[in-house]
Amino acid sequence: MDIDLAPEHAAFRTEVRAFLAAALPAQIRRKMLCGSRLEKEDLAGWQRILHAHGWGAPNWSQDYGGTGWSPVQQVLFDEECARAGAPPQLPFGLKMLAPVLMRFGSEAQRRTLLPDIASGAAWWCQGYSEPGSGSDLASLKTRALRDGDDYIVTGQKTWTTLGQYADWIFCLVRTDVTAKPQQGISFLLIDMRSPGITVRPIITLDGEHEVNEIWFDAVRVPVVNRVGEENQGWTVAKYLLGHERSGIAGVGIVKRDMARLKDIVARADAGGRRLRADALFAVRVAQLEIDLLALEATQLRMLQHAGPPGPESSMLKVLGSELQQRLSELLMHAAGERALPFGLAVGAAGAPATLHQEDQLLGAQYANRRKLSIFGGSNEIQKNILARALGL
Using an 8 Å Cβ cutoff, are 220 and 150 in contact? yes
Q: What pLDDT, on the 0 to 100 scale, is given for residue 295? A: 87
Q: What separation in angstroms does the CA of 214 have from each of 142, 207, 337, 338? A: 11, 19, 38, 37
Q: What pLDDT, on the 0 to 100 scale, is given for residue 3? A: 57
Q: What pLDDT, on the 0 to 100 scale, is given for residue 353? A: 39
386 CB-contact burial (10 Å; exposed 0-12 / middle 13-18 / buried 19+): middle
Please report, for the chain, the start and end positions of each structural domain, with discontinuous segments joined by +. Answer: 7-89, 124-235, 248-389
Angle between helices 40-52 and 26-34 (to 10 degrees): 120
Q: What pLDDT, on the 0 to 100 scale, is given for residue 345? A: 40
Q: What pLDDT, on the 0 to 100 scale, is given for residue 352? A: 40
**Domain range 124-235, CATH architecture:** Beta Barrel (2.40)
Q: Active-site residue among 80, 130, 244, 358?
A: 244
Sequence-distant (6+) residues with CB within 8 A of 282 are none
pTM assigned to the model: 0.85
Number of H helices, E strands in the chain: 14, 8
Look at the alpha carbons of 352, 355, 358, 361 in this order and tell me if their dihedral is positive or negative. Answer: negative
- Tell me which long-range contacts 66-73 makes (C-beta under 8 A, separation of at least 24): 66/118, 71/300, 71/303, 71/304, 72/3, 72/5, 72/9, 72/300, 73/9, 73/12
Q: What pLDDT, on the 0 to 100 scale, is given for residue 335? A: 85
Q: What whole-number distance in Å separates Cα of residue 99 and Cα of residue 240?
A: 7
Q: pLDDT means per 10 residues in the chain (392 residues)? A: 75 97 95 84 96 96 93 90 93 95 97 97 96 87 98 97 97 95 95 98 87 98 98 93 74 89 80 84 94 86 70 85 93 83 44 51 83 83 86 78
Q: What pLDDT, on the 0 to 100 scale, is given for residue 245? A: 67
198-220 core/surface letters (b: 16 or more CB in 10 A; e: else): ebeeeebebeeebbbbbbbeebb
Active site residue 230: no
Domain 248-389 has CATH 1.10.357.10: no
Using an 8 Å Cβ cutoff, are 159 and 214 in contact? no
Neighbouring C-alpha atoms within 13 Å toward the C-beta of 43: 17
* Bridging pattern class, strands 124-127 and 168-174: parallel
Using an 8 Å Cβ cutoff, are 127 and 157 in contact? yes
